[in-house]
Amino acid sequence: MYVLGIETSCDETACAIVESVGQEVKILSQQISSQIDLHKAYGGVIPELASREHLKNLPVILDSVLKTAQLKLEQIDGIGVTSGPGLKGSLLMGINFARGLSLAKNIPLIGINHIEGHILAPMLEHPDLDFPFIALIVSGGHTEIHLAKGLGDYQLIARTIDDAAGEAFDKSAHLLGFEYPGGPKLAQVADSVNSTNFKLPKVMRESPDFSFSGLKTAIALLIQKQKTELGDPKIFGSLCYAIQEAIVEALLYKLDKALKFTNVNKVVVSGGVSANKYLRKKIAEIKNVQCYFPQMQHCMDNAAMIALVAAKRFAHNKKLSDDLKVRARWPVETLNSNFTL
């Protein structure tokens, strides 16, 4: 079965085609067009600009993935499109484009939850990964931990009540003068030094959820205090190291609690921040736990993960009711109650 995945939930326009045979899902082609250069000047994503770009990019990217896979649209057996959570206008572009394709060629179309895409993304490279497992989803818009019990069956363990981990990276990076999105650049500097003279507070120990606002304030105060010294590469590197360590430590603390609480020994880490090398290293060091990370290109928003979830849903004949609605908010743990057989 050939499945086309379409992803436009934020500022990446992406299409991918996968072939599913039984449990196995093989990527035939994939393409992502990032809008980072467009939004950079504004220091963040401008929703109206993002929607317009999606509209422009979608036909070109679809054409390209069909060519690479050596397929015609008529040969596609099913389409999965991200229908939430995300920016309303961006989601609408993807959904309407997918609706058009589905109607024109009579191809079954289903809406996919973006977070479920991130949770299952490591299955693209690790088809042996089976349920149950703990999933830590860390990106620019999301920070959450779930117990993944089965396809569409996720139990929320912790979620951020304010900023996401990626935002904490990006906002700190902005204060240090890095261009948006500064997270990976800050991480690169942090990785080039291996210690710090600065101490940031350990936050949100008592609360069951994530919260990065306190840490963000502490980071801002620390940077302000060192303002005149930022030109010194040693101090600058040491600051980056302290920031990365504090954010990663906050993630690890809750992840460790979740593993103990559920007694599960498998963990998936996915979403843009899962590309962070220090985070990967620290998670790989957790004893008696098997870790699964997506390949770097599947950490960030991509359509292969959406096609993967769609392929699995088609294979199990598990359809969500009302799944093509644009949903700016769509908690992944509510999916189970939306299933129809």
Shortest distance (Å) from residue 180 CB to ligand KG4: 8
Binding pattern for the stretch 108-147 against Zn ion, x by CB under 5 A and - elsewhere: -------------------------------x--------
In order, the DSSP letters of 211-246 are --HHHHHHHHHHHHHTGGGTTSHHHHHHHHHHHHHH
Are the beta carbons of 297 and 125 closer than 8 angstroms? no
Q: At what angle do helices 165-175 and 213-225 cross, to 10 degrees?
A: 20
Shortest distance (Å) from residue 200 CB to Zn ion: 26
Using the rule CB under 6 A, is 170 a contact of ligand KG4? yes
Contact with ligand KG4 (CB under 6 A) among 3, 4, 6, 10 = 10
Spell out the residues 6+ positions from residue 142 whose beta carbon is closer than 8 angstroms to its own.
Answer: 85, 115, 118, 160, 164, 271
Using the rule CB under 6 A, is 140 a contact of ligand KG4? yes
Contact with Zn ion (CB under 5 A) among 7, 53, 167, 301 = 301
CB atoms within 10 A of CB 287: 5
Question: Which CB, 185 or 298, lies closer to Zn ion?
Answer: 298
Contact with ligand KG4 (CB under 6 A) among 78, 183, 237, 294 = 183
Distance CA 49, CA 144 (A): 28
**CB half-sphere exposure, 43, CA atoms < 13 A:** 7
Shortest distance (Å) from residue 206 CB to ligand KG4: 26
Q: Which stretch binds ligand KG4 (CB under 6 A): 99-107, 183-191, 212-220, 228-236?
A: 183-191
Are the beta carbons of 21 and 10 closer than 8 angstroms? no
Spell out the residues 6+ positions from residue 323 whose beta carbon is closer than 8 angstroms to its own.
Answer: 83, 110, 111, 112, 338
Using DSSP, state whether 62 is helix, strand or coil.
helix
Return the one option of Zn ion, ligand KG4, none that residue 97 interacts with (CB less than 5 to 8 A, by type): none
H or E stretch at 104: helix 88-105
| Structure tokens belonging to residue 12 | 């990446």
Binding pattern for the stretch 92-111 against ligand KG4, x by CB under 6 A and - elsewhere: --------------------
Using the rule CB under 5 A, is 12 a contact of Zn ion? no
Q: Which stretch binds ligand KG4 (CB under 6 A): 36-44, 47-55, 133-141, 145-153?
A: 133-141
Residue with token string 């990663």: 248
Shortest distance (Å) from residue 174 CB to ligand KG4: 10
Angle at 294 between CA 130 and CA 158, to 5 degrees: 70
Contact with ligand KG4 (CB under 6 A) among 3, 61, 91, 187 = 187
Interactions with ligand KG4, residue window 242-281 (CB under 6 A): 271-273, 275-276
Question: Which CB, 76 or 275, lies closer to ligand KG4?
Answer: 275
Are the beta carbons of 332 and 83 closer than 8 angstroms? no
Using the rule CB under 5 A, is 172 a contact of Zn ion? no
Q: Which stretch binds Zn ion (CB under 5 A): 30-38, 160-168, 298-306, 326-334?
A: 298-306
Contact with ligand KG4 (CB under 6 A) among 152, 166, 237, 294 = 166
- Rg (the chain; Cα; Å): 20
Using the rule CB under 6 A, is 301 a contact of ligand KG4? yes
- What does the binding site for Zn ion look like in residue numbers (CB under 5 A)? 139, 301
- What does the binding site for ligand KG4 look like in residue numbers (CB under 6 A)? 10, 139-141, 166, 169-170, 181, 183-184, 187, 271-273, 275-276, 300-301
